[in-house]
């Protein structure tokens, strides 16, 4: 990328989206496969900006998400909500 302002905005977007994806995974709004897909897309964006720090950070995050045994999803959120009503 030639425009440094555009590159800064892209890196800002990548970092905020990483946080959003991880918060959604932790809360159960998305499952592990959807989070991995989003993180892989962010990795592609980081590679197009040629930012090696973001690429290495995303590789570490993707590796940790792959190693987790959590199977969170919308079904478990619905089950938790019904428990509160009874």
User: pLDDT for 17-59, tens place per residue?
Assistant: 999 999 998 888 888 889 999 999 999 999 988 888 889 999 9
Q: pLDDT value at position 6?
A: 85
For the cut 90, the answer to whether the pLDDT of residue 3 exceeds it is: no
SS3 sequence of 15-61: HHHHHHHHHHHHHCCCCHHHHHHHHHHHHHHHHHHCCHHHHHHHHHH
Q: What average pLDDT does the structure give for the chain?
A: 79
| Distance in angstroms (rounded) separating the CA atoms of residues 52 and 32 | 24
Q: What is the pLDDT confidence band of residue 2, given thresholds at 50, 70 and 90?
A: low
d(CA 27, CA 77): 8
Q: What is the mean pLDDT of residues 53-78?
A: 73
What is the distance between the alpha carbons of residues 27 and 82, in angstroms, rounded to a whole number?
16
Overall number of domains in the chain: 1
Residue 65: which domain range? 4-85
**pLDDT band at 70, cuts 50/70/90?**
low
């Amino acid at each position: 990328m030639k425009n440094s302002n555009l590159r800064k905005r892209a890196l800002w977007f990548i970092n905020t989206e990483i946080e959003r994806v991880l918060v959604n995974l932790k809360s159960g709004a998305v499952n592990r496969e959807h989070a991995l897909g989003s993180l892989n897309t962010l990795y592609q964006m980081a590679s197009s900006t040629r930012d090696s720090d973001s690429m290495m950070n995303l590789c570490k995050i993707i590796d940790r998400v792959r190693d987790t045994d959590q199977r969170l999803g919308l079904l478990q959120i619905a089950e938790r909500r019904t428990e509160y009503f009874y």
